[in-house]
Chain A
Amino acid sequence: MKRYDCLKAIADVAGDAISVSSAGGVTLEWSNVRPSDANLRVRTLGLCSSIGLGLALTLPQRKVLVLDGDGALLLNLSSLPTLGWQRPPNLIHCVFVNGVYEASGGGRNANSANADLVAIAKGAGVPHAVWVDSVEDFRREVAAAFARNELSFVAARVEPGVQPGLKGIDVQAVENKFLLARHIERTEGIQVLAPAYPQR
């Protein structure tokens, strides 16, 4: 199973969800599958689940889709008990498990040996956590998670590799911030950024 095929299969399910994707191939692929100002591309490995939690807690009426990598999640494993404590009902945490540090050279990680991320998520207090091994199951579980309104964790076993021939991302980090902030201001009717010039 390829991560790119999984992402293509959930593009319509995601709707207007804010996505927070991990550094690595998943961000490039998702940006091609669903180009949107609602996509936040994270550069700190593992931090997407924590950023997603902050978004989900402060925008409870909005779905937040976290697209994580297994090596990245290992670097911020403590985010799982924090998620399991807060249990934001509007957060869907997808993890693509290829067992390697794909973005940094392809060395094996602990998920290729004896670690079980679904068991870890369940043990951390995440109420719904499942493994999937097919694109159809992935789409079904993600759609169920969107409908469920309860914190959900979907781990997909995928082969290593990034889809070839995709368009590069030409949005800079700070530009990504402004685009997402303005998108949230527009769609949620709130103020995110302080006024550049105060009213007089």
Chain B
Amino acid sequence: MVSTSTAPADSAPVAGPELIVDALKQAGIDFLVVLPDLKLARLHELLENDPYFTTVTVCREEEGVGICTGAFYGGRRAAMLIQNGGLFVATNALVSTAIMYEIPMVLLIYYAGDIGDRFFPTVGQYTEPVLQALNIRYWVPREAHEVVPTITGAQVTASDSMRPVAVLLTRPVLAV
């Protein structure tokens, strides 16, 4: 088992949804597929109430890979806002559409079960190994100053490499 991330000693809020919205705008990401989650609720609400963003709520994360793929062909920078359990649901479409056809998209994934995050330790345990197995590059911002460069950089790398990439959003970064 390999874990590449480290966490601060406490899990006090370090950033928040407003900073993530700002980062998405700086990245030019204006098309968001969302599957609602308690920890993503404030961020989702900000996105839905901001005319800069087109948001599509899905019933199942695999749909979202398809919708982001369609939005890519429509000339948009697309991202998917999901929980890590949803990453597991989406793997078939990620492999045989996003990776196989080389479609750029940013996966913004709430890192449930991250160190100190209660209730979903198994989901947390398998998150990074699954991303590694899929050869999806990912980053875990831990400090406020890392949020904007990580999300804008992830968009550039997705676009340049024509692949999905992921940013794992921890509870301190989401401020929840």
Minimum CB–CB distance for B31 against chain A, Å: 7
Q: Are B70 and A82 in contact (CB under 8 A)?
A: no
Asked whether, in the complex, the Cβ of A194 is within 8 Å of the Cβ of B70, the reply is no
CB distance from B103 to the nearest CB of A (A): 7
A74 to chain B, nearest CB (A): 13
Decide if B123 is an interface residue (CB 8 Å cutoff): no
Q: Which B residues touch A78, using CB under 8 A?
A: 58-60, 63
By a CB distance below 8 angstroms, the chain B residues around A18 are: 73
Nearest opposing residue in chain A for B58, CB measure? A82
Nearest-Cβ distance from residue A180 to partner chain B, whole angstroms: 6
Complex-state Cα separation, A90 to B72, whole angstroms: 17
* Nearest B residue (CB) for A191: B75
Q: Which of A57, A79, A194 is within 8 Å of B63, CB to CB?
A: A79
Contact A47 B74 (CB under 8 A): no
For residue B11, CB closer than 8 A to chain A, the reply is no
Q: Which of A81, A180, A188, A194 has the most CB atoms of chain B within a 10 A radius of its CB? A: A194
User: Which residues of chain B are near A181, meaning CB under 8 Å?
Assistant: 73
What mask results when residues 168 to 194 of chain A are scored 1 for a CB within 8 Å of chain B, else 0?
Answer: 000001101100110010001011101
Which of chain B's residues have a CB closer than 8 A to the CB of A20? 70
Per the bound structure, the CA–CA distance linking A47 and B93 in Å amounts to 8
Task: Pick the most buried of B73, B76, B96, B101: most chain A CB atoms within 10 A of its CB.
Answer: B73
A43, B97: Cβ atoms closer than 8 Å: yes
A65 to chain B, nearest CB (A): 13
Complex interface: stretch among A48-56, A113-121, A146-154, A155-163: A48-56
CA distance A181 to B67 in the complex (A): 15
Which residues from 84 to 135 on chain B have a C-beta closer than 8 Å to any C-beta of chain A?
Answer: 92-93, 96-97, 100-103
Q: How large is the interface on A (under 10, 10 to 19, 20 to 34, 35 or more residues)?
A: 35 or more
A48 to chain B, nearest CB (A): 8
Which residues from A are CB-within-8-Å of B159?
194
CB distance from A10 to the nearest CB of B (A): 21
Task: Report chain A residues within 8 Å CB of B69.
Answer: 47, 50-51, 54
List B contacts of A86 (CB < 8 A).
Answer: 56
Cβ proximity bits B20-32 to A, threshold 8 Å, 1 near / 0 not: 0000000000010
Q: Which of A47, A85, A192 contacts B73 (CB 8 A)?
A: A192
Contact of B66 with A54 in the complex, beta carbons under 8 Å: yes
Contacting A at CB under 8 A, from B44-68, are: 54, 56-60, 62-68
What distance in Å separates the Cβ of A200 from its nearest Cβ neighbour in chain B? 17
With beta carbons under 8 angstroms apart, the residue of B63, B68, B100, B102 that contacts A43 is B100
Q: Which of B71, B92, B96, B101 is in CB contact (< 8 Å) with A54?
A: B71
Residue from B58, B70, B159 whose CB has the most chain A CB atoms within 10 Å: B70
- Shortest distance from the beta carbon of A179 to any chain B beta carbon, whole Å: 11
A54/B93 in contact, CB under 8 A: no
Q: How far is the CA of A181 from the CA of B71 in the complex (A)?
A: 11
A41, chain B: closest CB distance, angstroms: 10
**Which B residues are in CB contact (< 8 Å) with A199?**
none
B59:A50 contact, CB within 8 angstroms: no
Cβ contact of A57, chosen from B54, B58, B60, B100, cutoff 8 A: B54
A176: contacting residue among B62, B65, B101, CB under 8 A? B101
Binding site for B on A (CB under 8 A): 18, 20, 40, 42-44, 46-59, 76, 78-79, 81-82, 85-86, 173-174, 176-177, 180-181, 184, 188, 190-192, 194
